[in-house]
Chain A
Amino acid sequence: MTQLAEHPPIDQIWDWLHAVPDPEIPVISLTDLGIIRDVAYDGDTLVVTVTPTYSGCPATSIINLDIETALRDQGIQNIRLKQQIFPPWTTDWLTPEGAEKLEKYGIAPPTAAGGPKRCPHCGGANLEKLSQFGSTPCKAQWKCTDCLEPFDYFKCI
């Protein structure tokens, strides 16, 4: 097993994955989103375990492709992507850094209360829900009655 020493260390792999953007919300990375559940070597093969945000999320296959491409670019040859649905993804796995990036980008981060805390544009607190669903399965549409701008809210699940 001396061969293992030639593999890039796991921490290094996490750093590389940290640089892979989410295809639908490119300001946050896959690790910010908390969908990479595990990285480990199985012999010579690097196994990356990924969980979907929503069952039907159409970005799932693109995400797998992006992970594979990013790791191949770093010279890793044998990669296996493993899908894991349990425990189900929760917005609790979104990192604080990820939540901050979302808000700066104009998407209100999830809150346990089930609605946005403030308008990501003006910081106003007078908000109303427009629709339970937004531009992607993970978001809902809200509106700020202070600045009158609509915005996406990252749903808490």
Chain B
Amino acid sequence: MSAVDQQALFQFLLRMGDNTLVLGHRVSEWCGHAPVLEEDIALANTALDLIGQTQFWLGLAGEVEGKGQDADALAFRRDVWDFRNFLICEMPNGDFGQTLMRQFLFDAWASVTLAHLQTSSDERVAGIAAKASKEVAYHLERSADTVVGLGDGTEESHKRMQAALEYLWPYVGEMFVSDDVDTAMVAAGIAPDPASLRAEYDAIITRVLTQATLDIPQSAFAHKGGRDGSIHTEHLGHLLTSMQWLQRVYPDASW
């Protein structure tokens, strides 16, 4: 058995942590703005779980990197080109329906991926996956219920959910594109090949979107570049200016 490529493992962990960090921050933007109190609380709790998972993933990433960076340093001291999240995570919230559609498309990926990661050869990865899986099961239940409720709701809510699905669909493909980092993770038994998870994912979303009376777009075109940092959307820079503002203005500030 060859030694695990630490650089590839670091990249893999950044991808996991940046997904939850960027999406968690996006979801937190709803705090105080959701249509009803229960939804406000639900969104804030989801964001909290995602940020908590980020602390585990990025904490481990910093450890693996071995340069003394903790989760905060990785979250607040990197710029756009260093981020490794899926583009879908940085997409704007749009209306409530679009936010929940994005959440559903992500939750379905997370639930499938984390289930596989629980048998990772790296027990630290398996441990985080076991913890996060329990939370994601709740997230998925709620986002799927909401997608069905709004998709199969009024004429207006149906129209908005269909539009949200069409807007976000080109960002789904990126979740299942494999590269060298994935090849190294598969070889080391640390993580599954993303491409191999597509069938499980499709089974979940087809069931829910059909129940929601929504048409799944046929196009296989996928925007890519988030996972390897080659191209992010213009939205990520705006998100970071708000998320990292305090640490940029007052480096090392703590409370």
B-side interface mostly? helix
Assess the B53–A55 pair: CB atoms within 8 A. yes
Of B51, B131, B138, which one neighbours A85 at CB under 8 angstroms?
B131
Assess the B53–A131 pair: CB atoms within 8 A. no
Of A55, A87, A137, which one neighbours B56 at CB under 8 angstroms?
A55
Report the bound CA distance from A52 to B48 in whole Å. Answer: 13
Assess the B132–A55 pair: CB atoms within 8 A. yes
User: Any chain B CB within 8 A of the CB of A58?
Assistant: yes
Minimum distance in angstroms from A115 CB to a CB of chain B: 12
Report the bound CA distance from A145 to B132 in whole Å. Answer: 33
Of A55, A87, A130, which one neighbours B38 at CB under 8 angstroms?
A130
Of A56, A57, A157, which one neighbours B50 at CB under 8 angstroms?
A56
Assess the A134–B130 pair: CB atoms within 8 A. no
- Closest A residue by C-beta to B55: A55
Assess the B131–A88 pair: CB atoms within 8 A. yes
Assess the A132–B141 pair: CB atoms within 8 A. yes
Q: Please, which residues of chain A bring their CB within 8 A of the CB of B41?
A: 131, 133-135, 141
Contact string, B29-43, partner A, CB cutoff 8 A, digits 1/0? 000000000110110
- Closest B residue by C-beta to A136: B45
A-side interface mostly? loop
Assess the B130–A54 pair: CB atoms within 8 A. no
Report the bound CA distance from A133 to B141 in whole Å. Answer: 11
Q: How large is the interface on A (under 10, 10 to 19, 20 to 34, 35 or more residues)?
A: 20 to 34
- Closest A residue by C-beta to B131: A88
Q: Please, which residues of chain A bring their CB within 8 A of the CB of B79?
A: none
Q: Specify which of B45, B47, B48, B55 lies most central, judged by the most chain A CB atoms within 10 Å of its CB.
A: B45
Assess the A56–B52 pair: CB atoms within 8 A. yes
Assess the B132–A137 pair: CB atoms within 8 A. no
Q: Specify which of A56, A57, A85, A130 lies most central, judged by the most chain B CB atoms within 10 Å of its CB.
A: A56
Binds A, one of B121-129, B189-197, B228-236: B121-129
Q: Please, which residues of chain A bring their CB within 8 A of the CB of B141?
A: 132
Assess the A85–B128 pair: CB atoms within 8 A. yes
Interfacial residues of chain A within 17-74, with CB under 8 A of chain B in the complex = 52, 54-58
Contact string, A108-138, partner B, CB cutoff 8 A, digits 1/0? 0000000000000000000000111111010
User: Any chain A CB within 8 A of the CB of B65?
Assistant: no
Report the bound CA distance from A85 to B42 in whole Å. Answer: 23
Report the bound CA distance from A131 to B142 in whole Å. Answer: 9
Given contacts A86-B123, A155-B138, A157-B134, contact A58 B48 (CB under 8 A): yes
Assess the A88–B134 pair: CB atoms within 8 A. yes
User: Any chain A CB within 8 A of the CB of B135?
Assistant: yes
User: Any chain A CB within 8 A of the CB of B111?
Assistant: no
Report the bound CA distance from A157 to B127 in whole Å. Answer: 16
Assess the A141–B38 pair: CB atoms within 8 A. yes
Report the bound CA distance from A58 to B44 in whole Å. Answer: 12
Assess the B46–A133 pair: CB atoms within 8 A. yes
Of A54, A86, A130, A155, which one neighbours B127 at CB under 8 angstroms?
A86
Q: Supply 17 further A-B pairs (C-beta < 8 A) apart from A56-B49, A86-B130, A88-B127.
A: A52-B52, A52-B131, A55-B135, A56-B52, A56-B53, A56-B55, A57-B48, A85-B56, A86-B131, A88-B130, A131-B39, A132-B138, A132-B141, A133-B45, A135-B41, A137-B45, A137-B49
Show 18 residue pairs from A and B whose CB-CB distance is below 8 angstroms, ordered by the A residue: A56-B47, A56-B48, A56-B49, A56-B55, A57-B52, A86-B127, A86-B131, A88-B127, A88-B130, A88-B131, A130-B38, A133-B46, A133-B138, A133-B142, A135-B41, A137-B49, A141-B41, A157-B138
Which residues of B pack against A, CB within 8 Å? 38-39, 41-42, 45-53, 55-56, 123, 126-128, 130-132, 134-135, 138, 141-142, 145
Which residues of A pack against B, CB within 8 Å? 52, 54-58, 85-90, 130-135, 137, 141, 155, 157
